[in-house]
Amino acid sequence: MRKFNVAVVGATGAVGEEVFRVMEELNFPVNKVVPLASARSAGSTIEFKNKDVVVLELTETVFEEQEVEIAFFCAGGSISEKFAKFAVEAGAVVIDNTSHFRMDPKVPLVVPEVNPDDIGLWRETGIIANPNCSTIQMVQSLKPLDDLYGIKRVDVSTYQAVSGAGKSGMEELVKQMQDFFAFRLDETEIKAFAHQIALNVIPQIDVAMENGFTKEEMKMVNETQKIMHKNFEVAATCVRVPVLRSHSESLTVTFKDGVDVDVNEVRNALENFENVKVIDDLPNKKYPMPIISTDTDFTYVGRIRKDVYAPNIIHYFNVADQVRVGAATNAVRIGLKWIELESDM
């Protein structure tokens, strides 16, 4: 198999670091890796396949100079906005982990298990967008159910880990818990989130929109419809919880009128879907939890039950590691699928 020169922009951040790990684990066909970061981080090293690789400064010319063919962008929307075009002009395909290009009608928004064919649309802009972390794990569980019965509406509440806000979010939770045990929580620093996150939940992620939802909630609505090429209704409530890693979601799915849900059919559809695992044994206290999903590449689904009142409604709970499934692993899977499609041309 041909090997590629692969750049990772934001190489020293949480997602960038994870991209290197996932590439190694999934045997990504790498000729050389090109870690890129700000001038402040340039000169430091990252580890890839037991070798230290020096981080280079992200510049307008570095993609051409390093003959980059695949560029993973993991450094924030403003960086993608400024530098993605230079990677494309150098002949690379850009796989962007930020929100900047997601709703651009010319840019495919891809979860490889759900809409792999959309990757073929990359040629128009040279860019493939990686969806929001919460959207990815949700559509992985919605796709087999939509294929089974046809979805009319989705209501979802998320329980999102602090690492969704980056390393600073994780550090703040740990520091606040240390302050709690030192009896000085009332003096603790509140910086990464609007409120204290230790021993608390915060029912707001991202900024408020005019319609009363948050930007994060509307991302889930709009991205789900774009990925699945469906206009079914979606309503989301996104909540930050004091968990270090892995997002959880409680979903209520309403199927088309006339559907009489068979829970066993639902369970089988989920069990047979790529990269979804079902853990659903309530009497024996077995169900998905963040401590199960963290550091894995699967979306776990459980607590599957039919609505008490309406025959066309199902409820369930899903969990996934949002740094991996919700960012790095999905990006690397897009890259692998892109290589597969390009080699078939």
Q: Is 324 annotated as a binding residue?
A: no
Q: Which residues contact 81 (CB under 8 A, 6 or more apart)?
A: 100
Place of tokens 């900047």: 100
Q: Is 163 annotated as a binding residue?
A: yes
The catalytic position among 74, 100, 238, 247 is: 247
Which residue, among 145, 167, 169, 148, has the nearest Cα to 156 in the 3D structure? Answer: 145
Q: Is 194 annotated as a binding residue?
A: no
Q: Is 328 annotated as a binding residue?
A: no
Which residue, among 130, 103, 107, has the nearest Cα to 120 in the 3D structure? Answer: 107
Q: Is 240 annotated as a binding residue?
A: yes
How far is 212 from 281, CA to CA, in rounded Å?
A: 37
Q: Is 15 annotated as a binding residue?
A: yes
Q: Is 267 annotated as a binding residue?
A: no
The catalytic position among 74, 100, 133, 238 is: 133
Q: Is 160 annotated as a binding residue?
A: yes
Could you give the dihedral angle defined by the CA atoms of residues 287, 293, 298 and 304, in that order, rounded to the nearest 10 degrees? Answer: 20
How far is 55 from 314, CA to CA, in rounded Å?
A: 48
Residue 238 is among the residues annotated as catalytic for this protein: no
Strand ranges across the sheet with 313-320: 233-240, 151-160, 247-255, 313-320, 299-306, 276-278
Give the length of the chain: 345
262 class by beta-carbon count within 10 Å (0-12 exposed, 13-18 middle, 19+ buried): middle
Q: Is 12 annotated as a binding residue?
A: yes
Residue 247 is among the residues annotated as catalytic for this protein: yes
Q: Is 332 annotated as a binding residue?
A: no
Helix (H, G, I), strand (E, B) or coil at 77: helix
How far is 318 from 87, CA to CA, in rounded Å?
A: 36
Active-site residue numbers?
Answer: 133, 247
Binding-site annotation, residues for NADP(+)? 12-15, 40-41, 163-164, 322
Binding-site annotation, residues? 12-15, 40-41, 102, 160, 163-164, 240, 322
Binding-site annotation, residues for phosphate? 102
Binding-site annotation, residues for substrate? 160, 240
